[in-house]
Structure 1
Amino acid sequence: MKPTIALVGRPNVGKSTLFNRLTRSRDALVADIPGLTRDRHYGHGRGASKPYLVVDTGGFEPIVTDGIMHEMARQTLQAVDEADAVIFLVDARSGATPHDKIIANQLRQLGRPVYLVVNKAEGLRRDMAGAEFHELALGEPWAISGAHGDGVRELIEDVLEHFPDASEDEDARQHPKFAVIGRPNVGKSTLVNAILGEERVIAFDQAGTTRDSIYIDFEREAKPYTIIDTAGVRRRGKVDEMIEKFSVIKTLQAIEDANVVVLVLDAQLDVSEQDATLAGFALEAGRALVVAVNKWDGLDDYAKDCVRREIDRKLNFLGFAKFHFISALHGKGVGDLFRSIDQAYQAAMVKLSTPRLTRALDVITERQAPPRNGMSRPKMRYAHQGGVNPPVVVIHGSNLVNIPDSYTRYLEHSLCKLFKLEGTPLRVQYKSTDNPYAERKQVSVHPGRRDPVKPGKQFRKK
């Protein structure tokens, strides 16, 4: 079992910077803005002698009793409760603050090993950087620079020294990874908590509560999954703050990284152009898709009929996806939604043999042959699989260059129907076989003669 190390501290002391340094990634958003990180963010520690997990937390405000900062404090306390050790970060430039003393007192009562780390100590003598932090009574302070990496390796090796050796888990087993996307305040985080069965991410009645893409590993019926809670994406003209622009990029990266995308719609709002745009992002990336129409329990029968008609009209290009009408707040319909996620993942990762695909291709083309291209008709000889997530079918034959898009869509739809692939798009690619007689072989012809000169023969002058 890998030890888990939680990074804790007041806002803007460099926790996310240290998280990125330890995980050798850019997974956590970093900016000179207090309160940027809000949810717990897990990552695999790299570069140390032992494998471990590291948790980035939001700025710890233990004395706040309500609002978003209170929810962030709850997330931090839950991370500490799950952790095997705690790294308490303070700021060498700011010195020991009353806020640091309150956090130190609270951490001492939680019964976890605590390492006092003085960040932003670049350019300072280590003994001088940590001198005034002895009053926090948490042992010898470690002076580091998360931004430059000074002292970070020594710190993490000292923390891991007290844990037994554990082999690096390089399990290559594939497991479903699905991203929850949608506009702000449609209930994405509430749905994530309903799936997990706990308040794992902050669900707050305020648009833009989630700013980063949060990856969460969990098990359901002894099967591993990864769920990604993403930030709400607004129309481009409405995105003003730089942080929100970063959040949009993170959401698009999460779509690319996922196997299945869950698009959350708000049943009490009209289906907007932004909803269609997000669905288009997932479709362009070739991701399996499940649509969750949230807040369904707050509508009467007439309003429900109106919503269904509007979805059919504005999202008709998602004919392959399954639609679920749910209430994430009360957990209604979440179980059926999860079954569709499993089904879409299986369809996206399906393995199809060449004989099965070729027989299916014969059946489809016999039912509707490809249209003629000039004087000849395209000839499709055989098909094989060229990839997964999404499934790619490569068709070999002759004269396949100018097959119209309408026939390609017919092939894709027919293949999905024959192999019962629900919830995922399918891509068809063509590979034409070269015609050896397309260009006649060039031979030399003697001037004044119509017959070609045979190699080796010479003309004699009479």
Structure 2
Amino acid sequence: MALVAIVGRPNVGKSTFFNRLTRSHEAITHDQPGVTRDRVYGTAEWNGVRFSVVDTGGYVPNSSDIFEQAIREQVQIAIEEADAILFMVDVTTGVTDLDDALAELLRRTDKPVFVVANKADNDERTWEASTFYQLGLSEVYPISALSGRGTGELLDALVKRLPARNGEAESDERPRLAIVGRPNVGKSSLTNALLGQERSIVTDISGTTRDAVHSVLKYYGREIVLVDTAGLRRRSRIRENIEFYATLRTERALRECDVAITLIDATEGLTAQDIRILRQAEELRKGMVLVVNKWDLIEKDANTMKEWEEAIRYRLPTWQHVPLVFISAKTRQRIHRVLEAALRVYENRRQRIATSQLNEVLQEAIRQQHPPTYRGRPVKIKYVTQVETAPPVFAFFCNYPEGIKEPYRRYLEKQIRAAFGFEGVPLTLVFREK
């Protein structure tokens, strides 16, 4: 998907507009400048066109010099990574020195830039938005991020300028494997070990990899695209911008991959950040493989690996289907099993089950455990069919779709996995009225 970045100085309403585009409340908004600290990503759709959106947030440093440097970094990153840029300004304050500075940078890019004059809540403010034409950046779109006024015209113009990427992605049949994880867990080391060459720079400093490095690997005659993503955090004077850059690349790699290989550090164990990355891959419906790296640094006996697996499975009760591999990228121990597991998951994600087979299995499962009643009436599932692959989606047709609650949905998913596998693949079950 194309990527759209929202940039601008603090407190012009970037996060409010992000929430409107993505129909979410993920970005924290407040009248105080600089409230947004975490970088937020989401998906928007307009007139049938889907695109990714990144909210660059507001950065509040301690001095004006660092402030200008931080803003400049974020805009430069946006120019480099995004396919289109929404430059937000504030009608109520008019053109400021920071707006001028940002405009100067944006005038140098050949990417589409849309001046979004926010807080145009009435006709008078809409007319006042014309003052932003002095920035020299094409059309000005007066909107109200809070009420939605004027956003339709802006989005109509935006989607016309976005590149069509979906066809290119669909035409490339090579498996795309994204190696993701926290900083310094060995992502670049694993990539180099698989490729047999020093493709990525490897050091002991967290966040060394800034760019997502795409490489093509031939595995038993089959071409595989490997993506070594940037780390998620690095200590720096302007830490938020470095983290923004790295996370943006990881986010895009996850969105474009077929299978996410999540590395964890054996010397640190499973962390909350590891779980967040797994959850993000699941939300995007990507294939999943969990890899414990640096296994050579662990003191072990005959039962150590089994104990580790039991401990990890215990902490990840809803991801029992995700394959788990223990490796050492440094010594190349068991690294071939990472590719074997990832390719199994890739094929599972593309698997299509015949409707007759599905109904034979699930009708028996329904007979063994009937759905709970809905408002005193029995819920009857008539039949099920797989409507999509990669990722797989199963449609259940019944008399009361709203009567299927989460526990029974999990029961049905468990029956599908028991019969047909789908190792490492998130399944989507939808319920429709027959």
Counterpart residue number, 1:409: 410
1:214 counterpart residue number: 213
Secondary structure in 1 matching 2:198: coil
Match in the other structure for 2:420: 419
Q: 1:397 to 1:318 in 2, by over 3 A?
A: same
SS at match of 1:373: coil
Give me the whole-angstrom Cα distance separating, in 1, the residues matched to 2:234 and 2:312.
19
Q: Would the aligned equivalents of 1:267 and 1:307 in 2 still touch at CA under 8 Å?
A: no
* Cα distance between partner residues in 1 of 2:232 and 2:319: 19
* Length-normalised TM-score, structure 1: 0.55
Residue ranges of structure 2 left out of the alignment (5+ in a row): 1-52, 54-70, 81-106, 112-167
- Which of these two proteins has the greater Rg computed from alpha carbons? 1
Give runs of ≥4 in structure 1 deviating > 3 Å: 145-149, 302-310
Give the conservation status (yes or no) of the 8 Å contact 1:235–1:274.
no
Q: Residue 425 of structure 1: SS of its match in structure 2?
A: coil
Shift of 1:376: 1.8
TM-score with structure 2 setting the length = 0.59
Partner of 1:246: 245
Does the 8 Å contact 2:233/2:242 carry over to 1? no
Q: 1:148 to 1:232 in 2, by over 3 A?
A: closer
1:75-86 aligned at under 5 Å gives the runs: none
- Per the TM alignment, residue 240 of structure 1 is displaced from its structure 2 partner at its CA by 2.7
Alignment deviations for residues 90-149 of structure 1 (CA, whole Å, 9 cap, x no partner): xxxxxxxxxxxxxxxxxxxxxxxxxxxxxxxxxxxxxxxxxxxxxxxxxxxxxxx98459
Higher helix share: 2
Match of 2:355 in 1: 354
Map 1:138-149 onto structure 2 (within 5 A). Answer: 147-148=109-110
What is the CA distance between 1:309 and its match in structure 2?
4.8
> Residue 193 of structure 1: SS of its match in structure 2?
helix
Which residue of structure 2 lines up, in the alignment, with residue 190 of structure 1? 189
Aligned partner of 1:46 in structure 2 is: none
Question: Counterpart of 1:301 in 2: which secondary structure?
Answer: coil
- Report how far residue 310 of structure 1 moved: 3.8
Checking the alignment, whether the CA contact within 8 Å between 1:177 and 1:226 is kept in structure 2 is yes
Q: Is the 8 A contact 2:309 2:324 kept in 1?
A: no
Q: Deviations over 1:346-398 (max 9, x none)?
A: 11111222222222221221222111112221111111112222211011121
Amino acid at match of 2:365: I
**Amino acid corresponding to residue 177 of structure 1 in structure 2:** R
Q: Give SS of 1:210's match.
A: coil
**Counterpart of 1:199?**
198
**Which residue in the other structure is 1:366 paired with?**
367
Q: Is the 8 A contact 2:234 2:242 kept in 1?
A: no
- Quote the offset at 1:252 in angstroms: 1.6
- The letter of the residue matching 1:424 is V
| 1:36-73 Cα deviation digits (max 9, x unpaired) | 99xxx9xxxxxxxxxxxxxxxxxxxxxxxxxxxxxxxx
Matching of residues 149-298 of structure 1 within 5 Å = 172=171, 174-234=173-233, 240-298=239-297
**What is the CA distance between 1:307 and its match in structure 2?**
4.0
Moved more, 423-432 or 367-376: 367-376
CA distance in structure 1 between the partners assigned to 2:260 and 2:244 by the alignment: 20
Closer/same/farther in 2, CA of residues 231 and 239 from structure 1, 3 Å limit: farther
- Checking the alignment, whether the CA contact within 8 Å between 2:217 and 2:225 is kept in structure 1 is yes
Paired with 2:169 and 2:273, the residues of 1 have a C-alpha distance of: 39
CA positional deviation for 1:410: 0.9
Given that residues 349 and 390 in structure 2 are in contact (C-alpha distance below 8 angstroms), is that contact kept between their aligned partners in structure 1?
yes
- CA deviation after TM superposition for structure 1 residue 217, in Å: 2.4
In the alignment, residue 429 of structure 2 is paired with which amino acid?
V
Alignment partners' CA distance in 1, 2:170 and 2:431: 35
Contact 2:372 2:403 in 1 (8 A): no
Q: Which residue of 2 aligns with 1:165?
A: none
Size of the alignment, in residue pairs?
A: 280
Contact 2:291 2:338 in 1 (8 A): yes
Per the alignment, residue 300 of structure 2 pairs with: 301
How many angstroms does 1:417 deviate by? 1.6
- Structure 1: which 5+ residue stretches go unaligned? 1-25, 42-144, 150-168, 434-462
Aligned twin of 1:389: 390
What is the CA–CA distance in structure 2 between the aligned matches of 1:239 and 1:385, rounded to whole Å?
A: 48
CA distance in 2 between counterparts of 1:313 and 1:419 reads 24
Q: CA RMSD in A?
A: 3.3
| Shift in Å, 1:404 | 1.1
Whole-angstrom distance in 2 between the partners of 1:317 and 1:170: 30
- Secondary structure in 1 aligned to 2:178? strand
1:238-277 superposed Cα distances (whole Å, 9 cap, x missing partner): 9933132122122122112111110100001132111111
Tell me if 1:430 matches 2:421: no
Once the two structures are superposed, residues 142-189 of structure 1 have per-residue CA deviations (whole angstroms, 9 ceiling, x without a partner) of: xxx98459xxxxxxxxxxxxxxxxxxx999352211111111000001
Alpha-carbon distance in 1 for matches of 2:169, 2:187: 31
